[in-house]
Amino acid sequence: MKQEITFEDFLKVDLRIGTIIEVNDFPKAKKPAYQLKIDFGALGIKKTSAQITDLYSKKDLLNKQVSAIVNFKPRQIANFISEVLVLGIYNTEGKVVLLKSSKQAKNGETIG
């Protein structure tokens, strides 16, 4: 288990729902990944890279809603600037499974 945090610490993390509107291959990434553009409603469209090629095709991801942390500092990955962190967990086979809402939600809605 990681270090215990306070509720105030949790409130600093901005978790939101967004819809993937564009998916591209990311050949310059060290590990297989996609470049994603995600629509977060009033927050706008944000870019990220995600190592999710094992279980998801580009077609599978298009128009899929995902959960993401939207208030990380932008991070350069190869020649690409990642603005958000899409959330996922490792399944029993060690492959990343995306965390998402069980029902459609408005883009940009806060999680928590």
Residue 15 contacts residue 67 (beta carbons within 8 Å): yes
What pLDDT was estimated at residue 79? Answer: 93
pLDDT at position 112 is 79
Q: Residue 53 — φ and ψ, nearest 5°?
A: -75, -20
Beta strands of the chain (E only): which ranges? 15-25, 34-39, 45-50, 65-69, 75-77, 80-82, 85-86, 88-90, 96-98
Digit-by-digit pLDDT tens for the chain (112 residues) are: 999 999 999 999 999 999 999 999 999 999 999 999 999 999 999 999 999 999 999 999 999 999 999 999 999 999 999 999 999 999 999 999 999 889 999 999 999 7
Domain residue ranges of the chain, discontinuous segments joined by +: 7-98
Class of domain 7-98: mainly beta
